[in-house]
Amino acid sequence: AQRVTQPEKLLSVFKGAPVELKCNYSYSGSPELFWYVQYSRQRLQLLLRHISRESIKGFTADLNKGETSFHLKKPFAQEEDSAMYYCAPFSSNTGKLIFGQGTTLQVKP
């Protein structure tokens, strides 16, 4: 069965601290992995995709196929990073994007 696990519902850190939001997936085939973010009172939006291998707003994510993980990292958290983050694998076979339960990141001043 296709499954996405984000083990932490809430991650609270102080400004300037490193951040790692965990994501593990169980998926048939080779899914494409995404992170989506939802800031307060804003619509859900794409943060980054593993294929592009780029850094967005200081965030990076490395796909580890052996561990089936796609953790999101940022070395120095900022208050404006406070939001809900969703890990989402996409299967080109089915055309479906499946979301994890999400992790709320709270960055304290």
Partner 1 sequence: DTGVSQNPRHKITKRGQNVTFRCDPISEHNRLYWYRQTLGQGPEFLTYFQNEAQLEKSRLLSDRFSAERPKGSFSTLEIQRTEQGDSAMYLCASVRGGLDTGELFFGEGSRLTVL
Binding site for partner 1 (CB under 8 A): 4, 6, 9, 32, 34, 43-46, 49, 86, 88-90, 92, 94-102
Q: Which is nearer to partner 1, 37 or 107 (CB)?
A: 37
Q: Which is nearer to partner 1, 45 or 78 (CB)?
A: 45
CB of 25 to partner 1, least distance (A): 13
Please report how close the Cβ of residue 16 comes to partner 1 at its closest, in angstroms.
28
Of the two residues 4 and 19, which places its CB atom closer to partner 1 in the complex? 4
> In which residue are the tokens 């990292």 written?
73
Six-digit token string for 99 = 């979301």
CB of 89 to partner 1, least distance (A): 8
Per-state percent for the chain, helix, strand, coil, to nearest 5 = 5, 50, 45
Task: Kindly tell me which of 13 and 97 has the beta carbon lying closer to partner 1.
Answer: 97
Pairing of strands 83-91, 103-108: antiparallel
Run of H or E including 19: strand 19-21
Q: How far apart are CA 3 and CA 7, in angstroms?
A: 12
